[in-house]
Amino acid sequence: MPAFLIWLSRLLPTNPICLRLVEGGSRRVRHLMIRGAYLGILMVLLFFALAGSHSTLKELAQRGASASTTAAFAQVALICILTPIFMAGALAQESSPRTWEILLTTPLNALQIVLGSLFGRLFFVFALLLGALPLFVMTQSFGGVPGSAILASTWVAAASAMVMGAVAVTLSVVGGAGKRSVFAFYAAVLVYLFGTWAVDQLLRTPIAVGSDASFTTFCTPLNPFLVLESLLLTNTYQPHEMAGTGAGVIASTWYGRPVTTYGWICVLLTAGMITACTLAVRRIGGREVRLPLLRRLFGRATSRAARQARKVGSNPIAWRERHLRSGNAAAVLGRWAFLAVGLAAGATLLILHRTQSLDSAQLRLGLGALLGAETLVVLFTAINLSATAVSREREDGTLDLILTTPIQPGPYLSGKLLGLIEFLLPMMLVPPLTLLFASIYVMANGFGVPGGVEVTELIGTARVPMPIVIPEGALTFGAVFFAFTAFCIMVGLQWSIRSKGTIGSTLAAVGVMLAIAGILGLCGSAAGASIPVVGAVMVALSPVNLLVAVVSPNTAVSASLEDPFSARVALLVGAMIAVAVYVAIVFGMRATMTRTFMFTVRRLAGTN
C-alpha cells in the first residue's frame, strides 16, 4: 500500500487510539446500559406518541408526524446529555500533560493523536444516532413524516455531538480540563442553550399582523433546538426567506436555511478546534508547572514556620471541604463572578423595563430564562461537587488518612454537607436574590413605570391582569431551593461513598437526580394544569416548577387561577410542605449513611 494511503488510513480507520477507545468502550457495561437506556427512552416516547383510540389514515399521519417531532427533540436533548459522558475520558484522563507526553512518544503525528482521541469517543455517539434511525424511519409508515426531515434532524444531533466532542478534546489539550470540568461542561451547555433561546424569544417577529407564526431570528442557527423547531414546526416558526429584500448570500442562508447554516457552523468550529489542538499538542511536553497568576502576584513570601495557626471551627471536615475547594483561585473567582453577573443581569432586565425598552411580557420571559439557567447551574454544581467529595479522597488516598483520626462517620458526613453548602452559598443566593429584586420592583409598581407591572393572562374565557412575578415568590422559592439543594448534595454524597471513582459517582448522581426531577416536574406540571389548589401544592414540591409558577402562573397553575389568592396560598403551603419533606429526607439519608458508612468504605478499600 502506498505511504500516503497508510497515512490517510491512520487518521481514522486504522488509528490506534481510535481502535483502542472503541474496543475498550465496547466492553464496558456502563456504555452498554447507556446505549440501551437511550434507545429505550426513544421507544417509549414513540409508543405513547403513536398510541390512540382512533385509527383513520389522517389521524395516523398526524400522530406519526407528532411522534417523529417529539423523538427528534428528545434525541438532541439526550445527545447533549450523553456526549459529555462519553467524552469524560478526554476531560478527566487525558487532561494530564503526562498522558499526552506518553502519546507524543508514539510514531503517531499530532493530527492522528487528536483525531483518534476525538472520534474514538464520538463513535459511540454516532452509533446511538444510527441505532435510533430505524425508529424514525418506522414513523414514515404512518405518513406525514418526510424522509428529508428525519435525516436533517439526525444531522443536527450529530453536528451538536461533534462540536461538544471537539470542545472536550480542546480543553484536555490546553490543560484547562480535569475531572471537575465534566460538570462545568454541562453547566456551559445549559447556559448557552437557555441564553440563545431567551434572546430568540425576544427577537421573534410575526409573519403577519395577528398571526401566531413567527420568522426565524439571528439566534436560530446557533441553537440546535431552534433549528429543529424551524425544521419540524413550520406552522409556528418559519424560515425567513430573504428573496427580494436585497440581502446577501450569507444573510439569506442564515435566516432562510437554518439547518444548513448550523451544519456549516459546527463543521467549521470543529475543524478550527482540531487545527488548534494539532498545533498545540506538541508543546505539551515542554509545559512547565507554574503557580496560578493570582498566587504569584499576591501570594505571601513568608515561611511555613511564621504562619499563624488557622481556626477550623467545631467541625474540621466542614472547614477542610470549604477551604480545599476555595484554595483554587479559579473556583473563588467563578463563584463570586456568578453572583455578580447573575445579579447584574437581573438588574439590567429591570432597568430595561423601567426605561420601556422591554414590555412586561418580555421582562417575564427574560426573568424566567435567567432564573431557570441560574437554578439549573447551581443544582448541577451541587451534585457534581458532592458526588466527588468522598470518591476523590478515595482515589488520592486521603480517605484512608482521615479514617485513622478520631472523626466519626456522623460528623464526617455533616461536615461534608455544611462545607459544601458554605462553599456554594454565593451561587445559591443568586436566584432568590434576583427574584427578590423583581418582587420589590413589582410591589413598588415599577417605581411609576408607564403601563404598570402586570401581564394580562387568559384564564378560562376571561382576561385577568397578573403581576410579572408573584411577590412572595422570592420567599417560597428560596426556601424550597435551599432545601432541594441540600437534598441534591446528600444524593451526591451517597453515590460518592458507594462509587469507586469520581466519574462513576458523578454520572450516577446526575442520572438519579435527573430521574427524580423529571418525575417531580411531570407530575407537578400535570397536576397544576388540571387540579385546582391541590395541583398548586404539588407544583411547589419541585423548585423548577415553583419557579415557573412564580414567574408565569398561567403556565404552571392554570387550574387554580380562577381564585388567584387561593392559588398563592396553595403555593405557600406547598413550599412549607416541600421544605419539611426535603429536610426530613436529608436527615434520614444522613442517619442511614452513618450506619452503613464504615461497611461501604471497607468494602471499596483498595479499589481506587
How far apart CA 532 and CA 544 sit, in angstroms, is 19
Distances (CA, A) of 446 to 344, 362, 449: 17, 15, 5
Query: Does 349 share its domain with 280?
Result: no
Sign of the Cα pseudo-torsion (92, 97, 102, 103, in order): positive
Of 448, 441, 427, the C-alpha closest to 366 is 441
Does 595 map to a domain?
yes
Q: What's the burial of 450, exposed, middle or buried (CB within 10 Å: 0-12/13-18/19+)?
A: exposed
Buried b (16+ CB within 10 A) or exposed e, 355-375: eeebebebbbbbbbbbbbbbb
The most confident of 92-106, 376-390, 574-588, by mean pLDDT: 574-588
Residue-wise pLDDT for 226-248, tens only, equals 998 888 888 888 888 776 666 77
* Domain-embedded: residue 117: yes
199 and 335 fall within a common domain: no
**CA 201, CA 333: separation in Å to the nearest integer?**
31
Are residue 321 and residue 397 in the same domain, yes or no? yes
Domain co-membership, 488 together with 446: yes
Please report whether residue 291 resides in a domain: no
Give the global pTM: 0.67
Sign of CA dihedral 509, 183, 77, 191: positive
Question: 271 and 359 share a domain?
Answer: no
Do residues 14 and 134 share a domain? yes
Please indicate, yes or no, whether residues 273 and 392 belong to a single structural domain of this protein: no
Amino acid in the structure at residue 225: F
**Residue at a domain's end among 286, 301, 331:** 286
Q: How far apart are CA 334 and CA 342, in angstroms?
A: 12
Residue 305 falls inside a structural domain: no
Whether 80 contacts 167, CB under 8 Å: no
Tell me which residue range forms the domain holding 471: 316-603
Total domains present in the chain: 2
Q: Within this chain, do residues 374 and 415 fall inside the same structural domain, yes or no?
A: yes
Q: Residue 334 is placed in which grid cell?
A: 467563578
Query: Which of 176, 162, 165 is CA-nearest to residue 95?
Result: 176
Amino acid at site 351: I
Maximum average pLDDT range among 465-474, 480-489, 505-514: 480-489
Average pLDDT over residues 279-290: 59
pLDDT above 90 covers a percentage of the chain that reads: 12
DSSP class of residue 214 equals E
Q: What is the pLDDT of residues 181-239, one digit of tens each?
A: 566 676 777 788 888 888 888 888 888 777 778 888 888 999 999 998 888 888 888 88
Query: Is pLDDT above 70 for 312?
Result: no
SS3 state at 145: coil
Q: Is residue 366 part of a domain?
A: yes
What are 380-403's pLDDT values in tens digits? Answer: 888 888 888 888 777 767 776 777
Domain co-membership, 320 together with 280:
no
pLDDT value for 392: 78
Q: What is the mean pLDDT of residues 575-593?
A: 93
Burial environment of residue 314 by CB neighbours within 10 A (0 to 12, 13 to 18, 19 or more): exposed
Q: What is the pLDDT of residue 101?
A: 62
Q: How far is CA 122 from CA 118, 278, 312, 332, in A?
A: 6, 18, 46, 33
Note whether 349 and 454 are within 8 A (CB): no
- How far from 383 is each of 151, 335, 453, 496, 603, CA to CA, in Å? 36, 16, 36, 10, 24
Residues 231 and 378 in one domain: no
Average pLDDT over residues 353-381: 87
The grid cell for 116 is 483518534
Q: Which residues contact 172 (CB under 8 A, 6 or more apart)?
A: 90, 91, 94, 95, 100, 117
- pLDDT tops 80 at residue 478: yes
What is the pLDDT at residue 32? Answer: 76
SS in 3 state form for 394-417?
Answer: HHHCHHHHHCCCCCCHHHHHHHHH
Q: Hunting for cell 467524552 — which residue is that? A: 87
Domain assignment of residue 544, yes or no: yes
Cα distances from 518 to residues 30, 39, 385, 511, in angstroms, run 22, 18, 21, 10
Residue 464 — φ and ψ, nearest 5°? Answer: -120, 130
pLDDT band at 70, cuts 50/70/90?
A: confident
Specify whether 323 is located in the same domain as 277: no
Look at residue 421 and tell me if it is in a domain: yes
Residue 543 lies in a domain: yes
- Whether residues 439 and 588 share a domain: the answer is yes
The Cα–Cα gap between 42 and 131 comes to 11
Mean pLDDT of the chain: 79
Percentage of the chain exceeding pLDDT 70? 79
